[in-house]
Amino acid sequence: MDNKQYCVTLSVQPSRGLVDEKFVVLVQNTVPSSLLTIHALHRCEDAHIWHAFAHYTSDATGAVNVSEDCSMSGTYSGVEAMGLLWSLKPVPGSKPGLRMRKKNVQAPMVVTISVYKGHLTEDFGDRVPLASVEVERWYMAPGVRRIPVTEDGLTATLFLPSGPGRFPGILDLWGGGGQLVEYRAALLASHGMATMALDYLTCKYTMETGKIVEKDYFECPQHSM
C-alpha cells in the first residue's frame, strides 16, 4: 500500500469523553479490501502498558467503521464499538496479575489509537502506523465535585453531580484490594448520582483500634444530598 498516495486518515469522535461513552473510530482512504489492524495503547499511572487490537478488511470505498464493521479476530471479534477499550490487556512480557485501576480521577485516561497495514498480533512498537490519534477518556464529567471526607473517623471521597440536586445517593464499597478507590464513584456521579467511595478495609478507624468496623461506620446522616 502506498500510504503517501492514499493519505490514510483515522478519526475518533468524540476525542474527549467519558470512559463509558461510545465513540466512533473511522479509518478512511485506504486501498479497498485492505487488511488492517486497529490498535489501542494505554500507559497506566503505574507505568504498565495495556493494549487491544482488532483485524478488519476495508470496504469498497477503503473505509473501516469500528462501530459498524466486524472484527475478524484480535483481542475481540464481532461488531464492538467499545472493543478497543473493554478488551485492553497487558502487553506481552508484563508481570502477571496486573489490574487496571485509575488512581487519579481528575486526570484523563489517555489512549493512542493507531491503524496498521496487515493483520498484526505483536511487535506494534517496532512498526510505523499508517495513522494515529490520541484520545482522552474521563471518569469525571465537567462540573462533578470531588470532596474528600475525613470527619468522624471516615476515610472517603464524596462525588456530587453538577446542578442543584436532589440526587439519588450511593455508597460505593470495594473488596479485598483495600484502599480508597474512586473511579467507579466518579463515573456514577458523572451520570447524576451522588456517590461516596468509602475505604473500610484500610481506614484509620480499623488501623487505630485493631477492630472490625461496626455498622455505624457505614451509616449516613439522614439529610439530602
Among candidate residues 115, 138, 161, the one where a domain is terminated:
138
**Partners of 51 in the β-ladder:** 41, 89
Same domain, 72 and 181: no
Q: Specify the pLDDT at position 125.
A: 87
Among candidate residues 122, 138, 154, the one where a domain is terminated:
138
Q: Return the number of other C-beta atoms located less than 10 Å from residue 124's C-beta.
A: 16
Helix (H) or strand (E) holding 115: strand 109-117
Q: Specify the pLDDT at position 210.
A: 47
Instruction: List, run by run, the mean pLDDT of 10-residue segments along the chain (225 residues).
Output: 68 96 96 97 93 97 97 97 96 89 93 97 92 97 93 84 90 73 95 90 49 57 46
Q: Specify the pLDDT at position 173.
A: 84
The three-state secondary structure class of 85 is: helix
Give the pTM: 0.83
CA distance linking residue 168 with residue 114, whole number of Å: 40
Same domain, 114 and 149: no
Same domain, 36 and 130: yes
Q: Specify the pLDDT at position 97.
A: 87
Q: Return the number of other C-beta atoms located less than 10 Å from residue 45's C-beta.
A: 12
Q: Specify the pLDDT at position 180.
A: 83
Look up the CATH number of the domain holding residue 48: 2.60.40.2240
| Side-chain half-sphere CA neighbours of 141 within 13 A | 16
Number of domains in the chain: 2
Enclosing domain of residue 182: 145-217
Q: Length of the chain in residues, anyone?
A: 225
User: Who's near 138: CB < 8 A, 6+ residues apart?
Assistant: 16, 17, 18, 19, 108, 109, 190
